Structures are given as C-alpha cells and as structure tokens.
Amino acid sequence: MSLNVLRILLTSLGLCLFGIVGGAAQQTSVDRWTIRHVKSTVDGADSCIAEGPTAGSMSLTIGTSGQQMQLLFDSKTISSTKATHQVTLTIDDNPPFTYQILNNGSVLSIPLILVIENELRPAKILRAAVDGQLYEFRLPNAAYAIDSVSWCAGMPDHAARQAQSLLTIPDAGDWKLVDKASGAKGCIVRVQGTEVDTSIVLNNVGQVVLTRIMQLGWRM
C-alpha cells in the first residue's frame, strides 16, 4: 500500500469519526491543518472547515458556502471603513488572480473555483496581497485540507469536479475548455494524457502560459 493511499484511508476514517458518528471527536489535525466539524446556523447541516497556516496577523481557512468551497482570509487589521478590498492571489510562481471584494468585516471570502484549486493542491506557497499588504502562507498539503472539506460537505471529489468542468471543443481532438465558473480570470484549454496533463492558459494580462502537470501532482 502506498503512503498516499494510506493517507486517504486515514483521512476518510478520521472524517467518519468526527463527521458522522455522534459523540466522537470533533476535530483532527494533520500537516498544520485543523479540520473542524461544524453545523450550519441556518439549516443545521453538517459541514467542515479547514483552519490552516497564518501569515502575520492574517489566518487562512477553507470552508463552504452551499456547494461552493471558499478561501477565507481573516484579520483584525482589515479596514472596516473601505467599501471594497482588492485581493491578489499568487500561487507559487503562477500568474496572479485579482479580485475586488465587498467589505464584510474582518473576513474576506474568495470562491475556490476549480482553476485555483488545481494550482493550490500541489502548491508550496500562497501569496495574498490585500489592499497592497502582502501575506505569504506556507502550504503544507493543501490537497488534504480541500479533500477533507469537500468530503465532509457531501460535495463531489476532485476527480468528479474536474470531469464536470471540461467542455468539448469542436474539431479540437481531446483538448477541452475549462469551465472556470464565475470569478475566474483568463481562459484555459487542457488535454489529459496517461501520465501528463497539458494546459495552455491565456491569463488576465494577455500572457500565454504552457503548463504540464504530471498525474502525481508534480509541476514540470
């Protein structure tokens, strides 16, 4: 049995204990992520959040809103007087994503759309520039946190979400257009190979980027 399979099995068992079996533990921690079982204050539905690393005064959490995962950035230093906040996310050395987010107190919420998730899963560093202030998060095993939250929320797994997001391009062979959902910046076409996936990205500043990702998650 591989270490990856063992990790998946242990994750499933741990989530089963605190997500389903009443009276069992309500949280588990792996690789600096703490997965907590929570109940919705609206409908009482079971769900989970993954509390992750901090960068200075800013904390990073992965949660859900309905069937949409969210990146949540929380800091008391976020200005409460501004109507909107500009947030730029840079994952490793990939092109950035920039958002204008309405003021919602000390928490900034960004949809974890699939194009960001795919970059985040194998990533080492997430840089978040909030109104010009840079925060750098070291990411230990973000894929574990994402999978734990989606599993607990009853959402499709990553492979199923990936399959649902690929749109056929007429006369383009096996190449697919990535359906990025609202909020994404740029466009992506992708072809899946037996060992390597290849993507061509046209980002939001007009740059064309060729990316190859091995099936084990290593970036080439």
Q: What is the mean pLDDT for each group of 10 consecutive residues in the chain (220 residues)?
A: 46 41 55 79 68 93 81 87 87 88 82 87 95 93 89 79 73 75 56 73 67 43
Q: Which residues contact residue 205 at a Cβ distance below 8 angstroms, ignoring those fewer than 6 apart?
A: 95
pLDDT of residue 1: 38
Domains and CATH numbers, the chain: 3-155 (2.60.40.1880), 161-214 (no CATH)
**What residues does 63 pair with on adjacent strands?**
70
**What residues does 102 pair with on adjacent strands?**
84
How many Cα atoms sit within 13 Å of 169 on the Cβ side? 13
Q: Kindly report whether the global pTM for this prediction surpasses the value 0.85.
A: no
